[in-house]
Copies of this chain bind each other. A is one copy, B any other.
Amino acid sequence: MKTGDQELVKKINKSIVLQTIQASSPISRAQISKESGLNKATVSGLVSELMEEDFVLEIGTGLSSGGRKPVMLYFNQTAGYAIGIDLGVNYILAVLTDLQGQVVEKIEEPLEETFPGVVLPMLKNIINTLMETQPASSYGVVGIGVGVPGITDNNGSILFAPNLNWEQVNVKQDLEQYFELPVVIENEAKAGAHGENIHGAGRKSSDFVYISLGIGIGTGIIIDDKLYKGARGMSGEMGHISIDANGKKCRCGNKGCWELYSSESTLLEQAAKLPSMEGKELSLNQLIQEAEAGNGEVLSLLSRIGEYVGIGLTNVVNTFNPEQIIIGNRLSKIQRWLENPIHHVLEQRLLPPFYEGLEVSFSQFGIESCALGSAAFSVEAFFSENKVTVT
């Protein structure tokens, strides 16, 4: 049981000060005091600690508003760095970000084989390369976050990743031993949701659901600006909600799962059957080209997929009553063709009070949300160890 003491008070207030600086930098001590409600003296004390820790810098003076000039404070976002990885089914996307989540370096490599024995050494290589490119800083790389396309438990093990054909692989332990840095493993959709919440389209919302439309469908649930993980860390498998109780069998055991009707796999499968696609390459990019060229068959296929996305989203909204839905991952590339059918279905199927307050957005950074979210996990773990909490 966590009791209350002065240390807790200080941690809360120090976090408030740092967050205020992050949000409104450059900002003076006086203004922090006004915005936060903390006493000027308190702010001064906490700021000087933050400066000793190199998280905050004084840079020059601001404009006077009829009195002494304020000393402006900045969040020192390059006091350290984090590495975020999106371990995709057929690619690895790795980023080096600063403490604010700004991408400093980026590596993307295709993944030909998915055996752990191939992937893990490759992963270590990529991380090593990023480590070497990091600029000099007080804290260096503070942690590594990895988003994976599968079900993870709370210990950083990948229990089941059907698309990689992995079972029971403990990536966390492996990487932590090798790099001697804290490692966070999280499901790809959960990491993406977090990325959007911290840096992306979900910054303004505190309750939203991120839908990762990729090879399969995953969801990340943000409640009160926190990721909801579920009892054993496996929440959000809404791709396996049955939208046709007696539909075709899914490999998860259920029947008529949502992702059988509106994922990238399904899209490509169904495209293969179109006469107009005969002999052509079957890829998302090819389909986009066809759609742009006005291929009617492809257009109506995309529209049908969009409708099924909408049907699944109806379920999401009735469940969570979120302020916002954010659609990310590969199929966010075909936003143009999905948007209308989605809205049409939602308007038709939702009760007005559910539809009215709802915003449906697409990811701002397309495929990068996952890597950015993973890096953000590491940054937060680092700060919370340092007796500060940062959103």
Interface residues of A (CB under 8 A from B): 1, 3-6, 8-13, 16, 35-38, 151, 153, 159-160, 205, 207, 219, 223, 228-238, 240-246, 252-255, 261, 308, 311, 314-315, 318-323, 348-351, 353-354, 357
Contacts and interface: CB of A to CB of B under 8 A. Distances in A.
B207 A231 contact: yes
B353 A160 contact: yes
22 contacts: A1-B36, A3-B37, A4-B10, A4-B11, A6-B9, A159-B353, A160-B353, A223-B228, A231-B322, A233-B321, A235-B321, A237-B354, A238-B318, A240-B318, A241-B319, A244-B246, A252-B351, A253-B348, A253-B349, A253-B350, A254-B318, A319-B319
Q: Number of copies of this chain in the oligomer? A: 2
A27 B106 CA distance: 59
A9 B1 contact: no
Contacts of A238: 318-319
B3 A321 contact: no
A1 B234 contact: no
A152 to B, nearest CB: 11
Given A159-B353, A229-B321, 7 more contacts: A3-B16, A3-B37, A4-B12, A207-B231, A231-B322, A244-B245, A245-B308
A38 B151 CA distance: 39
Contacts of A315: 241-242, 315
